[in-house]
Amino acid sequence: MKKQLLTVLLGLMGCTPFLNAQKTYIPWTHGKLQVSEENRYLKHEDGTPFFWQGETGWLMPQRLNRDEVAYYLEKCRVAGYNMVQVQVLNGVPSMNVYGQYSMIDGFNFKNINRKGVYGYWDHMDYIIDTAASKGIYIGMVCIWGGLVKSGLMNVEEAKLYGQFLADRYKDKPNIIWMIGGDVRGDVKPEVWEALATTIRKADANHLMTYHPRGRTMSATWFNDRDWLDFNMFQSGHRRYGQRKGDGDYPIEENTEEDNWLYVEKSFAFKPMKPVIDDEPIYENIPQGLHDVKDTKWNQHDVRRYAYWSVFAGAFGHTYGNNEIMQFIRPGVNGAYGADGRKKAWWDALEDPGFNQMIHLKNLMLSFPFFERIPDQSVIAGKNGERYDRAIATRGKDYLLVYNYSGRPMQIDLTKISGTKKNVWWYNTRTGALVYIGEFDNAVTTFQHDSGYMSGNDQVLIAVDASKDYVKKEWSVLPDAQK
């Protein structure tokens, strides 16, 4: 079965470097990253599309040794991740696993490269270079927002730090700059502006964005800035109706899980810029983040957040895992709802959600990339609400509809070209395809034969019958979907 599914996936992709775990795909061989002409997606200089499949490794610079870094990044590569985001500084100063500090003379970095065992920035270099060898970008959240909020970096220090970072890493091929770090953009905005403009002045080769606070988006504060190449939002970790006395809650009540809303709101800003959910709920973290008694988000939830945002128009998605993002070692560290039965970070690398994100990337890269738009008019009749909400995206001759709960849905096949449409179900857990037939060009009702059940999510694929993006022979027997 594994061989069969790999064959199906390789056929679906039509481009083996993305899937063959024995071969490392180096994306920047196609040139540096840039924003595509329609301002929705990222691409390389030669026009090759870049679908951002991100992983959250916040504390890797501080908590992993070199052997562990190599092991973790290899697992990311095999699972299809092409970007890992980290906290470059989680303290002022920060300390790595070798006991080496990020600062030895405040924000004066002149003599930072001292002799010794794996200095802080030597270790950061190793992380970036190891990631590069595996075709992975490093998303550099330069300093965590709470540190700036607390006054631990001012404007002049931000300029010194930004110059140091840019000079050290501007020639690395796999850097993406992330200003902010879980903080609103109106908190010490002068510091963020100083950091961003200093880096951008010295480094025009790498993309830059802003990582905001939960339930906010960068477009609110920085959309018109020249240094902001694309927008980010953080949909956060709360379930519907879970406010818990939060007085700063800038979204509508009972829309906490509707991360697709942020995509739509971001696209309403002018000029329009690409957008991504860079911090959704994490696999195996309590709903609401801190209370160990709360239900934990699971594989079904991380898939739903990923497909909802991408089908709404996001250019990719960033996955997160409770144990991985803080690199928990049982008996040593861990927070955010770790309840005594702590799972080690290396065991969490086998979690289902971590290993299922590749199927989303494979799917999106299987069809004409830059013409794709979100289009809810594909769904005829009344759509469902909350978990029953289907979400549609399409190109000129293909459409994709994500259905989380298995609720029947009416699909308007006339929204794409062709008098006949070939239709498949795509399993978000396994990447398996099941061909369900050729259909006339009309509004047609579809429901997966597994019925109405939350978490049994599928993608309906409909393609102009004259096109061969997907082939019937790539399908597996229906039992393979289970």
CATH code for the domain of 75: 3.20.20.80
In a domain, residue 11? The reply is no
**246 and 300 in a common domain:** yes
Contact present, 408 and 383 (Cβ < 8 Å):
no
**349 and 391 in a common domain:** no
- Using CB atoms within 10 Å of the CB of residue 121, give its burial: 0 to 12 exposed, 13 to 18 middle, 19+ buried: buried
In a domain, residue 10? The reply is no
β-pairing verdict for 391-394 and 373-374: antiparallel
Residues of the chain under the 70 pLDDT cut: 1-22, 244-250, 333-341, 477-482
β-pairing verdict for 373-374 and 137-141: unpaired
What is the CA angle 96-99-102, rounded to 5?
55
The pLDDT value recorded for residue 4 is 36
Q: What percentage of the chain carries pLDDT values higher than 70?
A: 91
Nearest one of 423, 430, 370 to 401, comparing CA atoms: 423
In a domain, residue 246? The reply is yes
The pLDDT value recorded for residue 5 is 38
What is the CA angle 10-14-15, rounded to 5?
85
**354 and 403 in a common domain:** no
**What gap in Å lies between CA 256 and CA 249, rounded to an integer?**
10
How many folded domains does the chain comprise?
2
**What gap in Å lies between CA 288 and CA 146, rounded to an integer?**
19
The CA-atom distances, in angstroms, between 393 and each of 261, 384, 440 are 15, 16, 20
pTM recorded for the entire structure = 0.92
Domain boundary among 341, 364, 387: 364
SS3 131: helix
**52 and 35 in a common domain:** yes
Domain boundary among 304, 332, 364: 364
Q: 307: part of which helix (H) or strand (E)?
A: helix 299-311
Return the CATH number at 424. 2.60.40
Q: Is 421 left (phi over 0), alpha (psi -120 to 50) or beta?
A: beta
The two tokens of residue 152 are 């631990």
The pLDDT value recorded for residue 58 is 97
β-pairing verdict for 391-394 and 420-427: unpaired
Count of Cβ atoms closer than 10 Å to residue 388 Cβ: 15
Q: Which runs of E-coded beta strand occur in 250-323? A: 275-277, 316-319
Amino acid making up residue 343:
K
Nearest one of 405, 374, 400 to 459, comparing CA atoms: 400
**387 and 359 in a common domain:** no
In a domain, residue 16? The reply is no
**398 and 357 in a common domain:** no
**285 and 405 in a common domain:** no
In a domain, residue 17? The reply is no
The pLDDT value recorded for residue 248 is 60
Give the CA radius of gyration of the chain: 22
Parent domain of 42 = 23-364
**324 and 180 in a common domain:** yes
**412 and 359 in a common domain:** no
Domain boundary among 310, 336, 364: 364
In a domain, residue 5? The reply is no
Contact present, 166 and 123 (Cβ < 8 Å):
no
The pLDDT value recorded for residue 336 is 58
**400 and 332 in a common domain:** no
**182 and 115 in a common domain:** yes
**187 and 204 in a common domain:** yes
In a domain, residue 453? The reply is yes
In a domain, residue 6? The reply is no
